[in-house]
Structure 1
Amino acid sequence: MNQCVRYLSPASLPISAAWLPVAGGHRLYVEEHGEPDGIPVLVLHGGPGSGNSRAHLQFFAAGRYRVVLPDQRGAGRSEPAGCCEYNTTVDLLDDIESLRRALGFERWLVVGGSWGATLGLLYAAAHQQCVGGLLLRNPFLARACDFDAFFGGQKAHFPLAWHAWEKLGAPGAPGAMLPWLVEEFATAGSVRLQSLVEAWHGWESALSGSPVRSLSAGEIAGLLQRYRLQCHYFGQSCFLPDNAVFSAAVSVAAAGLPVRVVQGMSDLVCPPAGASALLERLPSATCDGVPGVGHDPFAPAMQGAMRAALAHLAAGWR
């Protein structure tokens, strides 16, 4: 990689920031960064419900890309904030296509991490002619076994983080944690909700290898919005059949779309085994395993791998 290449900065001002009205009374907050005439790239954030981040800009070489950062329905600065009504995977996929048409792109590169990789693959399968290439980081497969593995499947490895759930009454039986959590977020009062948010944040931190820290009132409010959206999606299996992501991968492979997968080899949220299973359906895809990196998209080694993968996709852009 050429060390003289400059990359976009998270501190940069957008070339455009606007709200896009979509069906069901939602408005998506959308920023564009980089070059107006650059290669168009859609960045799909994770969660569901996390909201986009300008930190993703550091993956992109300056002067080469037009980077589109939308917040999905109910997430980030999109409105109504945290709204679960008219908020399903089909709605999010329709929104992506509405955004492409509104921006006037014939095709774009699609970059997604975790849940964003799920959406990117589903979108590419449904709109093959609109996607010039896919970059999937630590893909989430949205199978029943993936939900079970995240919610309780790692409790023996992280007893302290699990103990915070146990103190709140979380069940330890396989498959029982998620229905309990969905019910809790639907019915709990404000004090208990704060405890649930803190326990969930601690659990995520443990699995991702991040230090556990105290949360401010503002951070708790933001995480509550995000976790409610995740409960809405996870409680409905992300509104997908169990093997929908695999089916999408088969369609993308049959269409011959360029696909690169970047996988943190220490990720316990979206483990490498999931990426391996996905790659069996994407025989022409290239996979870059990143040793010693978990779910953090901005770890230095992951950042380097994402930059290199993007450069390869951009080199084939026509």
Structure 2
Amino acid sequence: MDHRSGQKSAAQYLYPPLDPYDQRMMDMGEGHHVYVEQSGCPDGVPVMVIHGGPGGGCSPAMRRYFDPRVYRIILFDQRGCGRSRPHASVTENTTWHLVADMEKIRVSLGLGPVLLFGGSWGATLALIYAITHPENVVHLVLRGVFTMTEAELDWFYGGGAGRFFPDLWDRFTGAIPKNEQADLIKAYHRRLFSGDMAEEMRFARLWANWENALASIDTPHIASETPSEYARAFSRLENHYFVNKGFLDEDRWILKNRHRIEAIGADIVQGRFDMVCPPVSAFELAKGWKNARLDLIPAAGHALSEPGISAALVQVMNDLRSRPWGPKPSAR
């Protein structure tokens, strides 16, 4: 069945559930211990899976986009979220810490150049790592592109998406006094880091629910309450990164440095109706990049779990199996 028909659930396109053959906690220094796992083929083509958020954490379903006979699948929870510790911590937690963590994981596992697979913030981090370490990346597979620009943040937290979902926007903004609503990221920051746990939890759920409710084209709704512990890590980390503009030196940093990765191939899968990360970012990233292929999925939004998105990503990874990337680990 064509993945664009939308007749199947996402799970039907995925490989069967898979258990990891290796799980470890890596000491990254500065008090952070990062969860890392490996599954699939130990001698296979290494693919590093980068979850979204920031603060989302990885899930078992993320192992299932790859042929386990071909790929060595590496998942990790970024600092402060998932199984990494300390939980919900923003201390020594910046984009550049995460880039260094990825490099430490690659070297510690004895890998040469890797394939990067990331969506949303995961696409952002994949691009930043590739720009910083182009020699260590063989290919990029990106979904729901977010390039950490002021325009993208303004769309989602400045009222753009709210014009399509005024009821949900009213719920998100209504908890903030009118005199603070001109900068909702900062207003939420004050409350997510107030030191009052009850207040932090309340605003964490509001922050997480606003994004989760708009993630899928099929289910825009006032979401049920996000589990508190997950919501606190997700919301604090995401807000911490956004209030600091991703810790990048200037606006549009990724786009201004794209020339550093134009020799690397990229497959970009983007929902045509993505309300969290609108398609203009993916289009702008791919425009003029000869080695990039953009696939706009007609009836899809932002979520990895959408049928059209999942089907397209599995197809990309299956197509890439024929590429001449040897499954030989690095000699280091």
**TM-score over 0.5 for the pair:** yes
Q: Indicate which of 249, 252, 261 corresponds to 1:243.
A: 252
Per the alignment, in what secondary structure is the counterpart of residue 48 of structure 2?
Answer: strand
8 Å CA contact 1:171, 1:177 repeated in 2: no
Letter paired with 2:240: H
Q: Which stretch of structure 1 is more off in the superposition, 201-210 or 72-81?
A: 201-210
Aligned partner of 2:200 in structure 1 is: 193
Per the alignment, in what secondary structure is the counterpart of residue 33 of structure 1?
Answer: strand
Q: Deviations over 1:71-91 (max 9, x none)?
A: 111111011111111111111
8 Å CA contact 2:34, 2:79 repeated in 1: yes
**C-alpha distance 289-283 of structure 1, shift in aligned 2 (>3 A):** same
8 Å CA contact 2:192, 2:199 repeated in 1: no
8 Å CA contact 2:168, 2:222 repeated in 1: no
Q: Deviations over 1:190-224 (max 9, x none)?
A: 333333233223321332243434327xx122111
Letter paired with 2:256: S
Q: Indicate which of 31, 54, 63 corresponds to 1:57.
A: 63
Per the alignment, in what secondary structure is the counterpart of residue 55 of structure 1?
Answer: helix
C-alpha separation in 2, matches of 1:244 and 1:227: 24
Alignment of 1:1-20 (within 5 A): 8-10=15-17, 12-20=18-26
Identity of aligned residues (%): 32
C-alpha separation in 2, matches of 1:50 and 1:7: 21
Aligned partner of 2:46 in structure 1 is: 40
**C-alpha distance 145-103 of structure 1, shift in aligned 2 (>3 A):** same
C-alpha separation in 1, matches of 2:182 and 2:258: 26
Per the alignment, in what secondary structure is the counterpart of residue 30 of structure 2?
Answer: helix
Work out the number of aligned pairs and report it. Answer: 312
Letter paired with 2:88: G
Residue 38 of structure 1 and its aligned partner are, at CA, apart by 1.1
C-alpha separation in 1, matches of 2:72 and 2:178: 47
8 Å CA contact 2:180, 2:187 repeated in 1: no
Give the gaps of 5 or more residues in structure 2.
3-11, 326-332
Q: Deviations over 1:215-241 (max 9, x none)?
A: 27xx12211111011111111001012
Aligned partner of 1:215 in structure 2 is: 225
Q: Deviations over 1:36-67 (max 9, x none)?
A: 11111000000001111111122112311110
C-alpha separation in 2, matches of 1:281 and 1:71: 33
C-alpha separation in 2, matches of 1:170 and 1:275: 34
Instruction: Report the TM-score, using the length of structure 2 for normalisation.
Output: 0.87
8 Å CA contact 1:293, 1:299 repeated in 2: yes
Q: Which stretch of structure 1 is more off in the superposition, 241-250 or 24-33?
A: 241-250
Residue 173 of structure 1 and its aligned partner are, at CA, apart by 8.2
| Superposition CA RMSD, Å | 2.3
**C-alpha distance 187-95 of structure 1, shift in aligned 2 (>3 A):** same
Matched, 1:108 2:117: no
Using CA pairs under 8 Å that are at least 6 residues apart, name the structure with larger relative contact order, 1 or 2: 2
C-alpha separation in 1, matches of 2:101 and 2:195: 31
Q: Deviations over 1:1-57 (max 9, x none)?
A: 99xx995434x2211000111131211101111111111100000000111111112
C-alpha separation in 2, matches of 1:174 and 1:195: 17
Q: Deviations over 1:107-146 (max 9, x none)?
A: 1111110111111111112212211111011111101111
Runs of 4+ in 1 over 4 A off after TM superposition: 170-175
Alignment of 1:1-318 (within 5 A): 8-10=15-17, 12-153=18-159, 154-169=161-176, 171=178, 176-187=183-194, 189-209=196-216, 210=219, 211-215=221-225, 219-240=227-248, 241-253=250-262, 256-280=263-287, 282-318=289-325
Per the alignment, in what secondary structure is the counterpart of residue 275 of structure 2?
Answer: coil
Give the gaps of 5 or more residues in structure 1.
none
Instruction: Report the TM-score, using the length of structure 1 for normalisation.
Output: 0.91
